[in-house]
Amino acid sequence: MFQKQLMMRRVLYALTPIFLFSVYLYGWRSVAVLAVSLILGSLTEYIVEKGRQKKVSEAVLVTGVLFAMALPPKTPLWVVAVGIVFAVFMGKEVYGGFGRNVFNPALTGRLFIYITFPTLLAASWMTPGNFGAAADTVSAATPLMMLHSGAAAELRLSDLFFGLHGGSIGESSIVLILLAGVYLVYTKTASWRIILSTFGSAAALSIALDLLGVPGAFPALKSLMSGSLLFISVFMATDPVSAPKKTPAQVIFGIVIGTVAVLLRLFSAFPEGTSFAVLVGNTFASLIDELVARKPETKGAAA
């Protein structure tokens, strides 16, 4: 049924420990969200590709997992269903299927439901517990919400690093995401240039704003370890289809995403700007590729 794609399988391998940790934090909710996302995402692609007499790509499994892991754990399952169908159909299939999408499909679906159902998603956070113990009854502020409310002193770096806090299903554990990034770079599955330029530019801007004492700026280290910044740097920005292909373009692409993400976090109405930042980068990816590919004209040629 699925068209085999080794690169996509490696991404799934890298995501597996992060997902298992989310099951430890949120219990059955993580499993339910992932199941709905995978089943309906694969079914949507199957229906469309059957009409084209093509197989379903294993890339849709990556889209389904990334979409699920970008959501709050208590997201209503019908909202998950709406989002993943939109992600696969409007974010991928309308462009012609695998390899032709302009935008990251998982983030396309995530932003669609984020804008359409903001109140529902805002009430879908959970306090993590041992395999979801007592987590279903308590909503919790995420680290980014605490930073926005001025409660940065209450955040412990150790909790942020090991993921012992609330947040989206896949964004919690910095250490697991770092290990996944090392694996993807080592296997040449993800571009280290995009990862470093995305996270590095966000780090540089966050540190500069913090040191300059810009009103509203967050403590740099806690800001960088909060939210989905590292997760999107490793898994979303590096999507080989919607990212630039040229080496210099990949660096510029990462800088665009990292700086836009930090600016949106601080100065927009959205507590987390990473999804918007990646789609902004996707918008200009082809243009950046084209610009860096142009060779300057020689004086003789110009004459």
Full pLDDT tens readout for the chain, 303 residues: 677 888 999 999 999 999 999 999 999 999 999 999 999 999 999 999 988 888 888 999 999 999 999 999 999 999 999 999 999 999 999 998 888 899 999 999 999 999 999 999 988 988 887 676 655 544 557 888 888 888 888 889 999 999 988 889 998 899 999 999 999 999 999 999 999 999 999 999 999 999 998 888 899 999 999 989 999 999 999 999 999 999 999 999 999 999 999 999 888 877 788 999 999 999 999 999 999 887 665 455 554
Q: Where are the domains of the chain?
A: 2-291
Question: pTM (2 decimals)?
Answer: 0.91
User: For residues 131 and 136, what is the distance between their CA atoms, to the nearest angstrom?
Assistant: 11
CB 82 within 8 Å of CB 113? yes
Q: Which CATH architecture has domain 2-291?
A: Orthogonal Bundle (1.10)
CA 245 to chain centre: 19
Identify any residues that bridge with 2 across adjacent strands, giving them in sequence order.
56
The two tokens of residue 166 are 């609330």
Close Cβ partners of 209 (under 8 Å, ≥ 6 residues apart): 217, 220, 262, 266
- Return the CA Rg of the chain: 19
Secondary structure class of 2 (helix, strand, coil): strand
DSSP state, residue 172:
S
User: For residues 245 and 289, what is the distance between their CA atoms, to the nearest angstrom?
Assistant: 7
3-class secondary structure for 243-266? CCCCHHHHHHHHHHHHHHHHHHHH
Longest dimension (CA), the chain: 75
